Amino acid sequence: MHIHILGICGTFMGGIAVIARQAGHRVTGCDANVYPPMSTQLEEQGIELIEGYDPAQIDLKPDLYVIGNVVTRGNPLMEAILDRNLPYVSGPQWLGENVLRHKWVLAVAGTHGKTTTTSMLAWILEHAGYNPGFLVGGVPNNFGISARLTDSDFFVIEADEYDTAFFDKRSKFVHYRPRTAILNNLEFDHADIFPDLAAIETQFHHLIRTVPGQGRLIVNGLDTNLARVLERGCWSSIEQFGAGDWMAANVGADDSFDVLLDDQPQGRVRWQVQGVHNQLNALAAIAAARHVGVPPAAAIEAMAGFRNVKRRMEVRGTVKGITVYDDFAHHPTAIQTTLDGLRKRVGAARILAVLEPRSNTMKLGVMKSQLPGSLELADRVYGFGAPGGWDLGAALAPLGDRAEAFTDLDALVAAVIREARPGDQILVMSNGGFGGIHQKLLDALAAR
């Protein structure tokens, strides 16, 4: 079959393209911006890429168009598809019907930690010899790729609550039909499509409704919002982590910890990952792996070799004693968690936080009042951008002289370089490329 993918260069749709190619289909695709590294990865798979959405692409005459949720009405190629009544489907639906229905699906849902937990779970199954397929919203360093299809019965997927497509406003994850589902946490996000927390809770309950009676939910026992969702009804077995069945205990200065199941020790995780949030992620992954037959001791052993995802506290370089990190944090809760993990790692060293609030939720200003509190552990804060409808400088004002806001990237870089001194930790947080600021900072430090 020839599949043409609209919006192919996003992480999710690019992963679908790779999986479709590995399944033996001819795959072509288009996007508004076709550039590395995704374009390189796709072309290496033999996938032809086209820049833009010229309606002349219908001359390719594919058997099916697969539509990413970046595509809207008014897109010239989409309009041509509709006008000619050509066959089309969303990415999540295609994946669910053509790949996942043949698999034991392990899905990882939640506002935070999905990518990391999905990567942990895929690595545990790989270490145990399960050779799982997977689709992750990032690049797990243990694999170096974001997606693969194997002949294994098991498939691990990051289960996103964002909507499926312009013609299907359900969350992506309702298409995946997991047998094992992790519910990591739940709070308000995606203000561009959800009016309130209750609307997101409804989508999470739709996911719960798709898990079979013989399936299992692995649920954060500390999360009151998830507890409220479960009160709507649950038809599968439940195991809780953080409180209840699975617990972390005796946390060491090196972030190692004991894993307890029903108060019985299962082993000690010794790894290179920091933070309480990652302890919870690990407990969830270990519990989910146990549901498919991986003994906790084997899962714990696997965690010793786990390498976190790119852009999760990733060290981009150290110059003259100053370290620059890249992190995907963009929601206030994630920003606070990331800063907390770094503070525990570096102690009294100064942290210079560089933030770009560019997610759709942050652009709307829904959480601007939470920003100062989330940045409290930083010694200096540098905000960048002009989010629509609100003043970033005013939002950061409660931090006083510690915070500055910029609309010029070079000016921001210059301010950070003037302030930075040996021993400082520069933490860059954005869910985008941030204009290549990481390398700009490293180059400027080297030239200083």
Tens-digit pLDDT string for the chain (448 aa)? 999 999 998 889 999 999 999 999 999 999 998 766 677 888 888 899 999 999 999 999 999 999 999 999 999 999 999 999 999 999 999 999 999 998 999 999 998 889 999 999 999 999 999 999 999 987 788 998 889 999 999 999 999 888 899 999 998 999 999 999 999 989 877 667 677 888 889 999 999 999 999 999 999 999 999 999 999 999 999 999 999 899 999 999 888 999 999 999 999 999 988 788 899 999 999 999 999 999 999 999 999 999 877 667 788 889 999 999 998 777 788 888 889 888 878 889 999 999 988 776 666 667 788 888 889 999 999 988 876 677 888 889 999 999 998 989 999 999 999 999 999 999 998 877 788 888 999 999 998 8
Sequence spans of domains, the chain: 2-91, 103-305, 314-447
Does domain 314-447 match CATH 1.10.287.370?
no
The whole-number pLDDT of residue 313 equals 72
* DSSP H or E stretch at residue 46: none
Distance CA 351, CA 322 (A): 10
Q: Which two tokens stand for residue 89?
A: 């489907």
Q: Which two tokens stand for residue 157?
A: 């997927």
Distance CA 204, CA 134 (A): 21
For residue 231, how many other CB atoms are within 10 A of its CB? 9
Q: Which two tokens stand for residue 55?
A: 């309606």
Query: Helix-strand-coil percent breakdown of the chain, rounded to 5?
Result: 40, 25, 40
The whole-number pLDDT of residue 274 equals 79
Cβ distance 220 to 248 under 8 Å? Answer: no
What are the beta bridge partners of residue 352? 380, 426
For residue 236, how many other CB atoms are within 10 A of its CB? 18
The whole-number pLDDT of residue 275 equals 80
Q: What are phi and psi of 81, to 5 degrees?
A: -60, -45
Contacts of 214 (CB under 8 A, 6+ apart): 179, 236
The whole-number pLDDT of residue 345 equals 80
Environment class of 144 (CB within 10 Å of its CB; exposed 0-12, middle 13-18, buried 19+): exposed
Amino acid sitting at position 120:
M
Q: Is 3 helix (H, G, I), strand (E, B) or coil?
A: strand
For residue 154, how many other CB atoms are within 10 A of its CB? 22
Closest CA to 332 of 159, 139, 111, 137: 111
2-91 topology per CATH: Rossmann fold (3.40.50)
Distance CA 27, CA 19 (A): 10
Q: Which two tokens stand for residue 200?
A: 């997101």
Distance CA 51, CA 28 (A): 11
CATH homologous superfamily, domain 103-305: Mur-like, catalytic domain (3.40.1190.10)
Contacts of 67 (CB under 8 A, 6+ apart): 6, 7, 78, 88, 89, 90, 91, 165, 166, 167
Q: Is the peptide bond before 37 cis (omega within 30 degrees of 0)?
A: yes
